[in-house]
């Protein structure tokens, strides 16, 4: 029994590590983890959505841990980008795919020259794909990943 629990945790951690490249992130955390932070308001979390990683049936909600909240110029820019990413994700989850695509394209431009652009490109592509071929009514906002 303990192997199953440990095995699933280790498998999920491994999948999250692999997803960092696909999402242009340094440190990914699942919602299960960031909801347990003792002081969640202390950190900047860039929301990236719900994913079904290859080899795992259940979706995992993930965010990138991008830094600690402080009064720096960098912190203010992070807050703005996180607000825009949150808005784009909400549009995607509300099935407003054209608006989500446009919001992610704007984030692509904003993050040009950084590794985050890779994730925004993936999300804009997924929003475009969902616009062309809408998901079924029971869809809960997850993106199925086909590579590790």
Residue 48 corresponds to which tokens in the numbers above?
């990236």
Residue pLDDT tens, the chain, 148 long = 555 556 667 777 888 888 999 999 999 999 988 989 888 889 999 999 999 877 677 899 999 999 889 888 888 888 999 999 999 999 999 999 999 999 999 999 999 999 999 999 999 999 999 999 999 999 999 998 877 6
Phi, psi of 92 (to 5 degrees): -60, -50
**Contact residues for 92 (Cβ-Cβ < 8 A; gap 6+):** 49, 100, 123, 126, 127, 130, 141
């Amino acid at each position: 029994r303990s192997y199953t629990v440990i095995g699933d945790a280790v498998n999920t951690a491994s999948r999250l590590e692999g997803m960092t490249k696909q999402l242009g992130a340094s440190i990914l955390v699942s919602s299960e983890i960031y909801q347990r932070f003792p002081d969640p308001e202390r950190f900047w979390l860039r929301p990236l959505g719900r994913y079904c990683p290859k080899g795992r049936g259940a979706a995992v909600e993930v965010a990138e841990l991008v830094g600690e909240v402080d009064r720096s110029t960098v912190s203010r820019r992070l807050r703005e980008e996180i607000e825009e990413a949150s808005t784009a994700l909400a549009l995607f989850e509300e099935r407003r795919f054209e608006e989500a695509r446009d919001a992610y394209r704007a984030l692509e431009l904003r993050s040009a020259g950084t590794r985050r652009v890779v994730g925004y490109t993936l999300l804009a592509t997924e929003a475009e794909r969902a616009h062309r071929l809408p998901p079924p009514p029971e869809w809960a906002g997850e993106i199925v990943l086909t590579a590790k």
